[in-house]
A and B are shown apart, each in its own frame.
Chain A
Amino acid sequence: MKKLAIGLFPAITIALMVWGYYQAIYVAPEEQTMHEAQRIFYYHVPSAMVAFLFFAVSLCGSIGYLAWRRSKPDLAQASDAWALAGAEVGVVFCTVVLITGPLWGRRAWGIWWTWDARLTTTLVLWLIYVSYLLLRRFAAGPQMQTLAAVLGIFGALDVPIVYMSNRWWRTQHPAPVFGGGPDSGIKDPAMLEAFGWNVLAWLCWGLLILFLRYRVERLHQQYEAAEAEEALTSA
């Protein structure tokens, strides 16, 4: 049953990706002011949503590691693997956001980039998590996981700032799609449906690679633990 689910999930994800693409390109109507360039929105916004979700996974993993690193080492290692997987996959999605956003901005505003609050805080968020990954890659020693967990928690503090930035400050970035007041939201049902399918598709894709990244990290931890044990017994 577990094997069937593991085999079925990637197949469902691929089907959702194809369906989401079809909805975004062929079914959703063309927006009246931004024309076809608005279709970038169907990849840009879901990627941002998934990135935020995975940075939250990284936050939970980091907290779990700090909470259990002495009392429950096995659970702490699993938490650390979730923290790394969340941060790394989150960075991939955040990179998509930072590339597709300027592509849309160039067509809508005539500029690639502006230092407004939403764009700047998103770039800062990306830089924090890239620093987190660099720390994990190049720092050595037993303190590395603890330092990474602390940085992971601080990095996640930027997520609500990014989310609220175009509510707190006047920005060039468009108004929030959801929860931004009475005028927010997607009015056209076909656009809303295309957006919903793409959110679901990218969420499934994200979960798939998040789980893969977690498994790879667990394998790496097991290998390192066995190496350390062997070094101790041979010493």
Chain B
Amino acid sequence: MDQRAILDHQFVVAAYAITWILQLGYLAWLGFKWRSEKRNAERRAGQAR
């Protein structure tokens, strides 16, 4: 493998890894937000009773 091929490969890996970090990071943040909203709704339901 020459230097150019190694660099090309590294750039592809970086692009794919960054894409997945962003997408999965956003999904995790959504999960936390979902849980927080569910807790708020349950707390409100508890107070109403």
**A residues adjacent to B (C-beta < 8 A):** 21, 25, 35-37, 39-40, 43-44, 47, 89, 92, 95-96, 99-100, 103-104, 106-107, 205, 209, 212-213, 215-216, 219-220, 222-223, 226-227
Given contacts A36-B8, A103-B11, contact A92 B33 (CB under 8 A): no
Contacting pair A226 B44 (CB below 8 A): yes
Give complex CA distance A213, B30 in Å.
Answer: 7
8 closest A-B pairs (Cβ-Cβ)? A219-B37, A36-B8, A40-B15, A100-B15, A37-B8, A103-B15, A92-B26, A223-B40
Which chain B residues (1-34) contact chain A, with CB distance < 8 Å? 4-5, 7-9, 11-12, 14-16, 18-19, 22-23, 26-27, 30, 33-34
**B residues adjacent to A (C-beta < 8 A):** 4-5, 7-9, 11-12, 14-16, 18-19, 22-23, 26-27, 30, 33-34, 37-38, 40-41, 44
Contacting pair B14 A103 (CB below 8 A): yes
Q: Which of B14, B34, B41 contacts A212 (CB 8 A)?
A: B34
A89 contacts which chain B residues (CB < 8 A)? Answer: 26
Apart from A36-B5, A95-B22, A103-B14, what are 5 other A-B pairs with CB-CB below 8 Å?
A43-B19, A100-B19, A209-B23, A212-B34, A216-B33
Contacting pair A43 B37 (CB below 8 A): no
From DSSP, what is the main secondary structure of chain B's interface residues?
Answer: helix
Contacting pair A36 B27 (CB below 8 A): no
Q: Which of A37, A39, A205, A216 contacts B23 (CB 8 A)?
A: A205
Q: Which of B7, B18, B26 contacts A99 (CB 8 A)?
A: B18
A223 contacts which chain B residues (CB < 8 A)? Answer: 37, 40-41, 44
Given contacts A100-B15, A213-B30, A223-B40, contact A92 B5 (CB under 8 A): no
Contacting pair B19 A96 (CB below 8 A): yes
Taking the closest CB of chain B, its distance from the CB of A18, in whole angstroms, is: 12
Please give me the residue from chain B that is nearest to A24 by CB atom.
B16
Please give me the residue from chain A that is nearest to B4 by CB atom.
A35
B4 contacts which chain A residues (CB < 8 A)? Answer: 35
Q: Which of B8, B11, B16, B23 contacts A92 (CB 8 A)?
A: B23
A215 contacts which chain B residues (CB < 8 A)? Answer: 34
Give complex CA distance A215, B33 in Å.
Answer: 11
Taking the closest CB of chain B, its distance from the CB of A14, in whole angstroms, is: 12
Please give me the residue from chain B that is nearest to A96 by CB atom.
B19
Q: Which of A43, A219, A222, A227 contacts B15 (CB 8 A)?
A: A43
29 contacts between A and B (CB under 8 A): A36-B5, A36-B9, A37-B11, A37-B12, A40-B12, A43-B15, A43-B19, A44-B15, A92-B22, A92-B26, A96-B18, A99-B18, A99-B22, A100-B19, A103-B18, A104-B11, A106-B11, A107-B7, A107-B8, A107-B11, A209-B26, A209-B30, A212-B27, A212-B30, A213-B30, A216-B30, A216-B33, A216-B37, A223-B37
